[in-house]
A and B are shown apart, each in its own frame.
Chain A
Amino acid sequence: MPLKPVTTPDAAAASIALNVDGETVTAKEGVSLYDVISGMGKIVPAMCYHYTFDPFGSCGMCLVMQEGKKSPVRSCTAKAAEGMVIRTDGDDLFAARKKAVEKHLSVHPLDCPVCDADGHCELQDTAFEHGVTNLANAKQKNIPEDTRSLVLDFNMNRCIACGECINICKDVLRIDALQFMKKDGFTQVVAKGDQPLDCEFCGDCLAVCPVGAITNKFSKYVYKPWQLRKTTTTCNYCGDGCQMYVETKDTQVVRVTSPLSWKHKWGERADTVNGHGGICVRGRFGFQFIDSHDRLKTPLLRQDGRLVPVSWIEALENAAERLGRIRDTHGADAVAGVITARCTNEELYVFQKFMRTVIGTNNVDSSARYGHMNFVRAAHHALGIHRMMNTSADLTGAQAILVVGADITETNPVASVRVKAAIGTSRASVIVVDAMRTNLAKLASHPVMVAPGTEGALIKGMIASALARDLVDPDVASNMPEALQSLKTAVVSVSLDAVAAETGASVDAIHEITTVFAEASRAVIVCGEGIVRQRGGYDHVLALIDLAWVTGKLHRPGCGINTFVEEGNEQGAVDMGVAPEFLPGPADYDGPARQKFSEAWGAPLPNARPGHALPDILDACRAGAVKALYVIGENPLATLPKSFGVEEALKRLDLLVCQDPFLTETAHHAHVVFPACTFAEKDGTVTNQEGKVQFVRPALDALGESAPDWHIMAGLANAMGRELPYDTTQDIQAEIRKCLPGYYNLGRPRPVTADPAAYLRNGYRESVGARYAGGGGGGRAGAAGRPYAMKLIQLIYHSGKLSTRASGLMDIAPNTRALRMTPEDCRRLGVENGGRVRVTSDQGRLELAVQPDVGVLPGTCVFPEHFNDPPVKDLSRVDVDPVTRVPYFKVTPVTIETV
């Protein structure tokens, strides 16, 4: 990139002064002249410019007059220099710009009537502004349209070769899936190698395309921009909490767009640390579930063994009466509730309040239990915080990033762009420790591939390495000598050779990454499902905290330990106290907050014990202790392996109330089903992983008779004779504001500071020894005569089970029903693509097809967790964490034989 230094000046670059339209401005030496001019608020038209990447200089619109030069210069690719005298306006420049537009227009087809970009087209706007009339020599290119991609159509007749799509893909997203190619006599944008496009399909190229050259297949020809109603809302698919625009036409979602657009091209490059405004494939193309035909439209009630549609009153009264009866005869603890962390904060709050005050039980849990709770509990225990420590700006500014057990380009694609930006702009060292050859590992400076389930062992190895080679932070050594000594004593049992043998990473590699991490002044740890959802997750997070602590990464600015979460509002579920151990805040359930909330809600709160977490609730159902289960949006039957006995548990229930937009597997067993709204019909807030509280706004009216979850809960409470006095979500927000002052905090994350002092002083010495006693981690999964480790993975194209209802995502990533293995293993087993194998685990066996995948490591096989067909997840065993009660079932040792 020869232009690279133009726009990203050194902080130490000299200041220069130049004159623009008679005004003197100062700028850093080496920046683009265009940036200086746009920084003054003057808008010079430019069709190939976007602030998120370097100037490209192809459109020829950004012309300015420089004193001393005869002809206009392109300001975007010109460097600002001391003493320049620049004129940005004038008839001659207008004429020159008009000529530049005419050049683009003269080869542009007459496509406005059918073009999806019409009305949102920079070429249209610019041509209209410059009053282009009577083009001479207009001719069309007549290039056939490339419709090979699953998602995007490329109509190169409309292309103005601005290169924005290529540049954003290369510079910002670092995927580099597009290129220019001379074809049929024209320069065209094609997918790499002129193949059908195969990328992450984030669609940011679509967003920045200033004309209609790249169009969206899912909404092709069904809209014109002026027909659409744009609703700014927050994406529900993952914890990144991207802002997006749901664009609707009547009762139909037509497309989803993002703040990233060619229209918002003038900005400060430095602002991109907070995100480039794009969204990922799930947000952009996974909207079809909102107005899907499968949606539930009326309440259902089980009558004579069948679920039949009934009225709301009947369903509510039935559920209320039966809930009340069970509560009265078997006690409040015979009722339990599980809610999905895709609900809004307000709904989560109402849910736990409903369960705790109306029913009177502490058996409440959310889907944050599947993993995030490990991080929250560990961070709560050790550091006194409840979420990740850093902001996205810290990620971009980091010198070293340790990404452990987190395939973040797949699970949290937009947050991963921040890590990519760190690689690109600040040349950060990125250490990826993962059991897959992830996309980030390909970009990372230090990829370390480990055997599945041994990420924790590697962390312990890193601690051992850091202590052995004295990479300990001097502050730590002086402030906490006792705790450090006890850690040193504990870590003696960790042998680096044993760790290397277990994980598959070399001792040298462990030493190197430890050095890189420890010596960076701004180093950030990101852990993901490879840590928090695998056996020993709680201990592993504590080990990560140990690592961060000894290397001094807990108390220095720009350093910290973080996790990325899978579902949209897992952080909100924790903050709203939807867990038996927490009250809203989150405050300890056993602590003094209980009295406060009891007074605020005007009801006594149940005792802390029993207060079952999700796996224990299901156990209690199976044992008959819990008679009624209220499930909101959650689908344990499809999520947990068969061996856990969810089906038996559900069948034993006297009452199962399901509340979901869809008739899920769990809902098939329900006695009462309430139709709920999706996020696109709701009003409320969600909290992203960074702690930003963001708005969810209704883009559509509720489908059929479906209602927002909080509304249903309030109705149910009413039917049970206890009023939850909410008319709107604002009422609930007002109550949350009273209980948790400052929670909304104008959408800005509340800063958190980690303070490990109390943890290190009290009881650390006693507990640390036990944690490192086992030497390495939880034991290599491939042991016990089962040579392969089978891992349930997340795909970028899906999120949980919800996205499988979105036809667009199912088009992009259908269920291949195949186990993915590395080609080497396939060769060794003698199976081809599509060949069938038998997979055997302790829980059972299954025959299925094989699909080679270069991202998988030898000795590993993976299957997307989003699909239950074939029921691969049923091969897993469920282990429940002794401390946090998180169910682990991601990695299973298996044997594979050909059939």
Chain B
Amino acid sequence: MKTPSHAKKIRDAVLFREIWKAMKVTFKHMFHRPMTFEYPREKRTIPDAHRGALGLLRYDNGQERCVGCDLCEAACPSRCIKVISEQDKAMPLQRYATEFYIDITKCVFCGYCVEACPVNALAMTKVYEYSTADKRTLLFDKARLYDIGDRYIDDARKYLYAHNQEKNDEESRAYRYHFPQPVGNAESSDA
């Protein structure tokens, strides 16, 4: 690089040339569309892969997908999931989660629980607006998680597709966990 002459340096210093050059750039930006937007009224588009609030999913016929296997609990790096499972009183030998808690205050939104779930019962949605004045409401229970899952089922599906958890085809959607059967009821059932 060419070294500027001494005279030029003095001239630049006296005229504050570097300031003018910078002002030029700043001035150009005055004609630029604003980069910001006014959040509560405008919202950014959330990508499909976004890891937002967790929801529990159901099969198309309304049956809960979760079998209460607790693998999400094991996979969770922040230990914020708590699954309490037991035998379904109505359908013996079927395991289901009686209670399912996610402590959103502890959740790190890593998505491991979704990755771990062997029945794809969990999915993340684009929901991110659940700030509250009462911290206790951030302990999401089973009802709330199913509510999120039901309400944002499209987001949840897209999340699963985006993260290769499920394919957007019939075969993948038809997957269902088959429970062991009790004595005297040998025919396999989907119920």
A145 vs B118: C-alpha distance when bound (angstroms): 22
Check A769 for interface membership: any CB of B closer than 8 A: no
Would A113 and B181 count as touching, CB distance under 8 A?
A: no
| CB contact under 8 A between A226 and B74, given known A112-B69, A113-B69, A142-B188 | yes
Q: Which residues of B contact A221 (CB under 8 A)?
A: 68, 85-87, 95
Within the complex, the shortest CB–CB distance from A714 to chain B, in Å, comes to 37
Q: Which residues of B contact A226 (CB under 8 A)?
A: 70, 74
Within the complex, the shortest CB–CB distance from B18 to chain A, in Å, comes to 63
Check B13 for interface membership: any CB of A closer than 8 A: no
Name B46-86 residues within 8 Å CB distance of A: 67-71, 73-74, 84-86
A residues lining the B interface (CB < 8 Å): 109-114, 118-119, 142-148, 155, 157, 220-224, 226-227
A113 vs B94: C-alpha distance when bound (angstroms): 11
Name B117-142 residues within 8 Å CB distance of A: 118-119
Tell me which of A109, A112, A222, A226 has the highest count of chain B C-beta atoms within 10 A of its own C-beta.
A222
Besides A144-B186, A146-B183, 9 other CB < 8 A contacts? Answer: A113-B118, A113-B177, A114-B180, A142-B186, A148-B183, A221-B95, A222-B84, A222-B86, A224-B71
A155 vs B179: C-alpha distance when bound (angstroms): 12
Interface residues on B, range: 20 to 34
Would A110 and B73 count as touching, CB distance under 8 A?
A: no
A142 vs B181: C-alpha distance when bound (angstroms): 8
Would A147 and B188 count as touching, CB distance under 8 A?
A: no
Tell me which of B70, B180, B182, B184 has the highest count of chain A C-beta atoms within 10 A of its own C-beta.
B180
Check B185 for interface membership: any CB of A closer than 8 A: yes
A112 vs B69: C-alpha distance when bound (angstroms): 8
Q: Which residues of A contact B179 (CB under 8 A)?
A: 114
A114 vs B186: C-alpha distance when bound (angstroms): 18
A110 vs B182: C-alpha distance when bound (angstroms): 16
Q: Which residues of A contact B180 (CB under 8 A)?
A: 109, 111, 114, 144-145, 155, 157
| Closest residue on chain B to residue A226 by CB atoms | B74
| Closest residue on chain A to residue B92 by CB atoms | A147
Check B44 for interface membership: any CB of A closer than 8 A: no
Q: A-B pairs with CB below 8 Å: how many?
A: 70
Within the complex, the shortest CB–CB distance from B94 to chain A, in Å, comes to 8
Would A110 and B92 count as touching, CB distance under 8 A?
A: no
Chain A contact residues: over half helix, strand or loop, or mixed?
loop
Q: Which residues of A contact B70 (CB under 8 A)?
A: 223-224, 226-227
A112 vs B71: C-alpha distance when bound (angstroms): 10
Would B85 and A144 count as touching, CB distance under 8 A?
A: no
B residues lining the A interface (CB < 8 Å): 67-71, 73-74, 84-87, 92-95, 118-119, 177-186, 188
A144 vs B67: C-alpha distance when bound (angstroms): 19
Q: Which residues of A contact B186 (CB under 8 A)?
A: 142-144
Q: Which residues of B contact A114 (CB under 8 A)?
A: 67-69, 94-95, 177, 179-180
Q: Which residues of A contact B86 (CB under 8 A)?
A: 220-222
Q: Which residues of B contact A157 (CB under 8 A)?
A: 180
**What are 14 A-B contacts defined by CB distance under 8 Å?**
A112-B69, A113-B71, A113-B118, A114-B68, A114-B69, A119-B74, A144-B182, A145-B181, A147-B93, A147-B182, A220-B86, A221-B85, A221-B87, A224-B71
| Closest residue on chain A to residue B117 by CB atoms | A113
Query: Which of A110, A118, A144 interacts with B185 by CB under 8 Å?
Result: A144
Question: When A and B form their complex, which 7 residue pairs have the shortest distance between CB atoms, in order from nearest?
Answer: A113-B69, A114-B95, A221-B95, A224-B70, A144-B183, A221-B87, A144-B181
Within the complex, the shortest CB–CB distance from A123 to chain B, in Å, comes to 16
Query: Which of A109, A148, A220, A224 interacts with B69 by CB under 8 Å?
Result: A224
